[in-house]
Amino acid sequence: MNYIGQDVRSCDLKKILPKEGDKCSIRQNTLRRSINCIGITLHGGEKVALTLRPAAADTGIVFRRIDIPGSKEIRASWDNVTDTRMCTTISNGDGVTVSTIEHLMSALAGCGIDNVYVDLDGHEVPVMDGSAQPFVFLIECAGVLEQDVHRRVIKILKPVRVDAEDKMAELLPSDTFSVSFEIDFDNEVIANQTISVNMVNGNYKKEVARARTFGFMHEIEKLQAAGLGLGGSLDNAVIVAEDKVLNEDGLRYNDEFVRHKVLDAVGDLYTAGSLICGSYRGVRSGHALTNKLLQALFSDESAWCYIDLGENAISHSVQSDNLTEDLVAISV
């Protein structure tokens, strides 16, 4: 496999990287200080304490179950995903799990946090208000600290697609990171909704972060019988009953339902381990299909590459059998 000569400059770094003011951040970020919260979990219905802690460069997003002494850390990685029923669950080799990571992961991606420890005293991330906005607020309160190590992004080199019945998810080459989504429900409140969001100029916070998870009143008993949705309420989800939204304050966006699917996709895609330079498109897809998409992407070394960002150079790398080999440096 040879990428020498590949034009990596087609990736518009200023458009895919989170910004600090008007300055494009090419360096990794962590939090300035630790910050914590306590909330109810969506599926378990339990009260769980969560603490976000600063982490060294190249740590990544790492979850720690502090309620299980001596348990191994769990890296938020696509190959640690072990369950995608109604949420994204990761686990370590000892079977210790953390579930419903997608909203927090989405906020971390949207705020450009590369390295953080997530400490929990339970097996599920609190749902907060059902969106990513409370986590964005926590991150902003903690502050963002730029680190002295350059970022590495994943550039999509060719289309990768997975299908399941009437569902589809794909990644396409692009010079930015964007997410397009289509949903179609047999319900007049939701019906068919489509959206495309280019993740630039604060669009994540404005257009995505506040969109809440949603569910149908007639499905609640079935979910709870399966041990899911035990903590769901009008305080942390949009509930639809036949032809109306039950939440007293209504919707935050006219198309809040499809925007929440974008929020989920951003979080699930961040289990790739880096920001993505490419375009994601989902049609009625969810956690399972997005994880299968990442599996398909990383199983095809010709479909992607790493771009290491430097002030004066880009190091173009690929990863194979746990060995990363620098192939070429291109001035920018």
- What phi, psi does 219 have (nearest 5°)? -100, -10
Other beta carbons within 10 Å of 72: 13
Marked catalytic residue, from 43, 103, 123, 287: 287
Residue 218 catalytic?
Answer: no
Q: Counting every residue, how long is the chain?
A: 332
Give Cα 99 to chain centroid, integer Å: 13
Q: Which residue carries 């300035």 as its tokens?
A: 32
Task: Supply the DSSP symbol for 298.
Answer: H
CB neighbour list of residue 143: distance below 8 Å, 6 or more residues apart: 31, 32, 33
CA 139 to chain centre: 15
DSSP 3-state assignment of 181?
strand
Vertex 323: Cα angle to 319 and 327 (nearest 5): 60
**Containing H/E element for 221?**
helix 220-225
Per the listing, tokens 């604060």 go with: 202
Cα–Cα distance for residue pair 42/40, rounded to 1 Å: 6
Looking up tokens 């961040």, which residue turns up? Answer: 270
DSSP code for 212: P
Q: Where are the alpha helices (DSSP H) in the chain?
A: 13-16, 102-110, 133-142, 203, 220-225, 256-269, 287-298
Which active-site residues does the annotation give?
A: 287
